[in-house]
Amino acid sequence: MFDTIIRNGHLVLEEGTVRADLAIKKGKIAALLGPDEPAECQKEIDAQGRLVLPGLIDAHMHTQAPFQGISPQLTFYQQSICAAFAGVTTYMDFTNTWKGSSVLQALDDRIEEMTESAIDFSVHGKFVEANEQLLDEIPLLAAKGCPTFKLFMTYRKEGVMADDMTLMQVFKRAKENNCMPLIHAESNAIAETAVDECIKNNTLTWRDFANSKPVICETEAFGRVAKLAESVGVPLLIVHTTNGPCLNIAQQAQERGQKLYIETGPHYLTLFDELYDDIENGHLAICSPPLRTRKERDELWDGIKNGTITLIGSDDCTFTREEKEKALQRDANGKIIPDFTKVVNGLSGLEIRFNLMVTEGVENGKITMNQAVALCSTNIAKTMGCYPQKGTLLPGADADIVIFDLNEEWVISANNLHSGAGYSLHEGYKAKGKVKTTLLRGEIIMDNNTFMGSKGQGKFIKRTLKLN
């Protein structure tokens, strides 16, 4: 006897969509049944002809991550509630690593912090230096189920930049231990020089922020780190890519056989740099890399359609308006005095990532629903080393399941999101498709717009890469 059968649904797999019923037993997908095939179960869920998706995965977010002197108030538990409403059943965050600290210890600390989550979770390490003691931690990180770690090519003054020698040393040890670096590709030399000029000339508007990190700032770092990784032969993921010149570099590398994986985020597909011209609210849109133009948006869709981009991550880094404005000064009339150097970088996005991909991509004929699921679940599970436990509806996988109504329309607003940020850069956006039910390992954690999960329900997911 099965524990649960989901009836009357259309199962969306990477390979295609099938009309079938889905049986669950002991938290796993036990069988795919023919429509209305007789089978005994303790409970039935009627999908009512809707789409049935594998639980979505967000492998790129930043929660409880102090930066630029600001500690965000959003907790992992609250973020996991956002995730449940979004159909996200597994998310991944990063260690809080600083110079002089152990990445291995930071991993243990992060896992402990994330145990309050109501959904499953995993962790990427973060390296900011590469002495022998830290390099020796890489096989230990992999053994603990953390075979991925991030390096920043900028933020020297903030103390988290990895220079080229650090990149090379980490790449070599990662190659030896079947691990994969994740890269934030922006040229520190270009960005820091531009910011210093802005400070010198007192040109500190939100628009000046965008100008300080132009496309070339990203492209230079992107091309350099891709070549460094190729010289070592290590697989590499470059996150939050924003433009065509970077994708051209990536496509050529992929055609040569380099294992180079590319991620972008939904904000670069839906938000544009004109937000920085809004004096009162433009600082809320400050993120790195900055928002680009519609031209770059079109280049990204081309990269998604031709397969250069295979992952969509929210890069969620939620700050309230108060947190965004904490270091800013105001004039005698209470108006904010623009100074982009005092605004913490980061946007919300985890809760609306898939809706934006469906509305912008599927509804406009740019991608299929199967591709949307691959970009937001299956490809991520495969690249991050947790497939087929996650990212599929095939028997044996965790019963992480989303029932999705493609026909429901709704309007995105801060009032119907759950992060507590108090604002949304997508306020008023008309979204197509709504998550109706989310199951984690066979248990309903969100149904009919009501959270039903519990604090601490999530489990740490150990990962092993299969990319080499």
- pLDDT tens per residue, range 7-37: 999 999 988 999 999 999 999 999 999 998 9
**Residue 304: pLDDT above 60?**
yes
Burial of 255 (C-beta count, 10 Å sphere; 0-12/13-18/19+):
exposed
Mean pLDDT, rounded, for 404-416: 97
SS3 152: strand
What local confidence, expressed as pLDDT, does residue 157 receive? 92
Give me the pLDDT at residue 239, please: 98
Is pLDDT of 171 > 60? Answer: yes
Tokens of 396: 């044996």
Q: How confident is the model at residue 468 (pLDDT cuts 50, 70, 90)?
A: low
Condensed to tens digits (0 to 9), the pLDDT of residues 69-127 reads 777 889 999 999 999 999 999 999 999 999 999 999 999 999 999 999 999 999 999 99
Q: Rounded mean pLDDT of the chain?
A: 97
SS3 124: strand
Q: For position 221, what pLDDT does the model report?
A: 98
- Evaluate whether 335 touches 304 at the Cβ level (below 8 Å): no
311 forms bridges with which residues in the sheet? 263
- Express each pLDDT in 245-286 by its tens digit: 999 999 999 999 999 999 999 999 999 999 999 999 999 999
Indicate the DSSP class of residue 174. H
Q: Are strands 56-58 and 17-25 parallel, antiparallel or unpaired?
A: unpaired
**Per-residue pLDDT band at 389 (split at 50, 70, 90):** very high
At 68 the pLDDT is: 74
Backbone torsions φ then ψ of 29, nearest 5 degrees: -75, 120
Cα-Cα-Cα-Cα dihedral sign, residues 111, 268, 328, 193: positive
The residue-averaged pLDDT of 154-178 equals 96
The predicted model gives 200-223 an average pLDDT of 98
309, two tokens: 């981009």
Q: How far is CA 17 from CA 12, 54, 119, 120, 368, in A?
A: 5, 12, 26, 26, 10
CA 304 to chain centre: 16
> What one-character-per-residue DSSP string does 95-108 give?
----TTS-HHHHHH
How far is residue 112's CA from residue 77's CA, in Å, rounded to a whole number? 12
Strands across the sheet containing 56-58:
56-58, 88-94, 120-126, 148-152, 180-184, 236-238, 260-264, 311-312
**pLDDT given at position 67:** 74
Q: How high is the pLDDT of residue 69?
A: 75
> Is residue 465 pLDDT above 70, yes or no?
yes
- Residue 467 is predicted with a pLDDT of 72
Q: What is the pTM of this model?
A: 0.97
Q: Hey, how many other C-beta atoms are within 10 angstroms of the C-beta on 248?
A: 16
Share of the chain above pLDDT 70, in %: 100
Is pLDDT above 70 for 237? yes
